[in-house]
Amino acid sequence: MPDAEKKYRELQTLLKVHAPFYLAFSGGLDSRFLAHAAGQAGLAFTAVHVTGPHVPSADTEAALGWLEQNGIPRQVVQFDPLSLEEVLKGSKKRCYQCKREMFRLILAKAGNLPVMEGSNASDRLKFRPGARALQELGILSPMAEVGLSKPEIRTLARETGLDNPAQPSRPCLLTRLDYGLTPQEGALRRLEAAEDAIAGLGFKNFRLRIFRMGNPILQIDWSENQKLESCRKKLERLLTLHGFADAGIQAEFEVSGFFDDENADNQTDDLEILKNLF
């Protein structure tokens, strides 16, 4: 992919301009790839991982383990979004307020140094309410700026030697809750435990969604439909064990951003703003 390779060089050039910097590090593919690119360019940076009741503990363990394995300086920020007004209300502004408060904490750690994060060009085509907070706070999104898409990132990750280039996305647990629901830490922990057990069966890309009206639904990516059918009984037993006996199970062509897609009719203006952020 010559075009992707050109963008990769542009990315490293852009990172050099801003080094040293702080990197918001979730441990997902995007933030790992950004850290990987900076490391290959020999740049100085510090990774900041945010943890709290909205972040699966397995994700924190994996993120910090990867940073240690790669010798990257790291800091951990404790953050509880369950105290935020918009999060408590289950408002459509919950992601915006959560992202804004989280990055304010990271900025306080960074002092006068710039702060980077891992949004990519593909995110510009979707509704990402937290992106407005990034713009307001002056957070840099270098991969989006150079036009690197998610498929290009996966290809470059593989070609440049980054481990696990097929890593599926696993956004924060609050995204599993329908708008209008008040999140409770106990419910988030049940979700976390259930999803960890589902991953233990070998499923890669899925979400266990909780609805304001109606039963929960386990959504599994269509690419894993054959495995779903062969494991359906195991999944039903597992969901019952974790308190989700009433949950439906279905394959979906797209499991990411479900609740935002459901409310897309009201988000046209915001989406246009997001497309012009970078």
pLDDT in tens, 125-152: 666 777 889 999 999 999 999 999 999 9
Where are any strands of DSSP class E within the chain?
21-24, 45-51, 74-78, 115-116, 206-209, 217-221, 248-252
For the cut 70, the answer to whether the pLDDT of residue 113 exceeds it is yes
DSSP label at residue 163: S
1: confidence class by pLDDT, cuts 50, 70, 90: low
Sequence ranges of the domains in the chain: 2-159, 173-255
Q: Are 7 and 146 in contact (CB under 8 A)?
A: yes
Pairing of strands 115-116, 74-78: unpaired
For the cut 60, the answer to whether the pLDDT of residue 269 exceeds it is no
Query: What CATH number matches the domain at 2-159, 1.10.10.410, 3.40.710.10, 1.20.1070.10, 3.40.50.620?
Result: 3.40.50.620
Phi, psi of 175 (to 5 degrees): -70, -10
| pLDDT mean over 111-137 | 87
For the cut 80, the answer to whether the pLDDT of residue 264 exceeds it is no
pLDDT at 256: 82
- Distance, first Cα to last Cα, the chain: 23
Does the CA dihedral 133-135-137-139 come out positive or negative? positive
Nearest-angstrom CA–CA distance, 225 and 228: 5
Average per-residue pLDDT for the chain? 91
Query: What CATH number matches the domain at 173-255, 3.30.429, 3.40.50, 1.10.3470, 2.30.30?
Result: 3.30.429
Which of these ranges, 103-107, 184-188, 259-263, has the smallest mean pLDDT? 259-263
261: confidence class by pLDDT, cuts 50, 70, 90: low
Q: Which of 4, 6, 15 minimizes the C-alpha distance to 38?
A: 15
